């Protein structure tokens, strides 16, 4: 596919570049380069969201009437590309990227009026309550109970692998409001205030030592029925709609391309480009990322016309996460022995590293470009598991696309 930007698109690109030159500080760019997770440190993400919101650019994919930009698919792709090239930190996806589209598609007028503006400003920080012990990829088996009590539900259960529950003040949850013969029935999509009595958050440390994931325990938590999104017992329909945005409704290839360029740069500095097979694997990844970008542009075009990603979201999630993991593997090779040093004090992890004690002199080993390599590799092992394992995604594609 050949992409030729129109004069209007090029003018928009120049506008975005001017904005980034003015607003994205050198300190923010530096912190982003030192990220070891797919998530920016919370304070950095919140600060950047405030800057974007002030310009009206925090939610490019939202309809204009809810605070979106009204951009074309091409403009959204250009915007994402320029953010990646400039080294802008990513925003947490749980609010603007996931719960926001669900409320726009399935929320009541009152819910949209209350929650959407607070998502844009960052006043509300969100997390996702889906997975439970024994209910990960088989999400329909979830058992967190929501018992009817007049105008409230009383919620009791346990969610885990809950990203950013330690910094979020709201969580969107799938809960079971009834036991039905078909497990997908009787599930309700519920918005819960994290300050409600009966909620306890406990940290889960990742392989990279970062505290990003959490266990969340609910004990007799009272939630108003006004917080149900869609209809009681029909939350599975809402959840499937959200998963399409979680898995493939955004733009990922500009970030992959930027990472590929940095790895090529690092390999050149370390003299690894001439190693047998290294350059050819870089070239192969570049070709595959370009192919994914073509599909991504097609999906963005469809989204701009009101279509949902559908089964293509499973393909985007599967290919995108596996390409990302292959990039981390090449980065490890390029860094060589320097990748072995564990030194999060010299980087910007996605969350606290509570079991790590930095050296007294705060120094670090090796060149700057090697500092994040090992932590990124370890962190990205989860990429093919979260948002539905890639094995599950292949089953979805086999059924929905191939009719198997």
As a three-state string, the secondary structure of the chain is CCCCCCHHHHHHHHHHHHHHHHHCCHHHHHHHHCECCCCCCHHHHHHHHHHHHHHCCCCCCCCHHHCCCCCCHHHHHHHHHHHHHHCCCCCCCHHHHHHHHHHHHHCCHHHHHHHHHHHHHCCCCEEEECCECCECCCHHHCCCEEEEECCEEEEEEEECCCCCCCCCCEEEEEEECCCCCCCCCCEEEEEEECCCCCEEEEEEECCCCCEEEEEEEEEEEEEEHHHEECCCCEHHHHHHHHHHHHHHCCCCHHHHHHHHHHHHHHHHHHCCCCCCCHHHHHHHHHHHHHHHHHHHHHHHHHHHCCCCCCCHHHHHHHHHHHHHHHHHHHHHHHHHHHHHCCCHHHCECCCCCCCCCCCCCCCCCCCHHHCCHHHHHHHHHHHHCCCCCHHHHHHHHHHHCCCC
- With contact defined as beta carbons under 8 Å apart, do 354 and 203 qualify? yes
Asked if 86 and 132 count as a contact pair (C-beta separation under 8 A), the reply is no
Cα angle vertex 182, ends 393, 133, to 5°? 60
Among residues 246, 288, 296, 329, which one is catalytic?
A: 246
| 270 has catalytic annotation | no
- Which are the catalytic amino acids? 246
């Amino acid at each position: 596919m050949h992409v030729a930007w129109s004069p209007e698109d090029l003018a928009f690109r120049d506008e975005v570049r001017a904005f980034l030159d003015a607003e994205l500080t050198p300190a923010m760019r530096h912190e982003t380069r030192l990220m070891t997770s797919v998530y920016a440190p919370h304070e950095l993400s919140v600060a950047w969201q405030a800057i974007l919101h002030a310009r009206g650019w925090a939610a490019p994919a939202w309809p204009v009437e809810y605070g979106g930009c009204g951009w074309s698919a091409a403009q959204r792709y250009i915007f994402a590309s320029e953010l990646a090239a400039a080294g802008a930190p990513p925003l947490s996806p749980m609010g603007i990227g996931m719960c926001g589209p669900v409320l726009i598609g399935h929320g009541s007028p009152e819910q949209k009026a209350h929650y959407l503006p607070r998502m844009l400003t960052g006043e509300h920080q969100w997390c996702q309550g889906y997975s439970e012990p024994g209910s990960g990829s088989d999400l329909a088996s979830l058992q967190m109970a929501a018992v009817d009590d007049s105008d409230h539900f009383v919620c009791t259960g346990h969610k885990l692998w809950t990203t950013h529950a330690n910094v979020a003040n709201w969580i969107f949850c799938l809960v079971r409001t009834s036991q039905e013969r078909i497990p997908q029935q009787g599930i309700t999509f519920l918005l819960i205030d994290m300050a409600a009595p009966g909620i306890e958050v406990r940290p889960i440390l990742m392989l990279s030592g970062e505290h990003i994931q959490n266990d969340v325990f609910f004990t007799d938590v009272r939630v108003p029925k006004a917080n149900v999104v869609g209809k009681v017992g029909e939350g599975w329909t809402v959840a499937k709609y959200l998963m399409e945005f979680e898995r493939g409704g955004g733009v990922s290839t500009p970030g992959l391309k930027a990472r590929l360029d940095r790895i090529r740069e690092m390999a050149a500095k370390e003299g690894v480009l001439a190693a047998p097979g290294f350059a050819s694997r870089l070239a192969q990844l570049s070709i595959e990322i370009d192919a994914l970008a073509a599909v991504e542009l097609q999906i963005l075009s469809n989204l701009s016309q009101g279509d949902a990603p559908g089964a293509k979201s499973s393909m985007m999630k599967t290919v995108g996460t596996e390409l990302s993991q292959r990039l981390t593997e090449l980065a490890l090779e390029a860094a060589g022995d320097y990748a072995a040093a564990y030194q999060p004090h010299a980087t910007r992890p996605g969350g606290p590293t509570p079991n790590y004690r930095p050296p007294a002199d705060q120094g670090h080993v090796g060149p700057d470009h090697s500092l994040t390599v090992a932590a990124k590799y370890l962190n990205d092992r989860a990429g093919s598991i979260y948002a539905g394992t890639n094995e599950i995604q292949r089953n979805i594609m086999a059924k929905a696309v191939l009719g198997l």
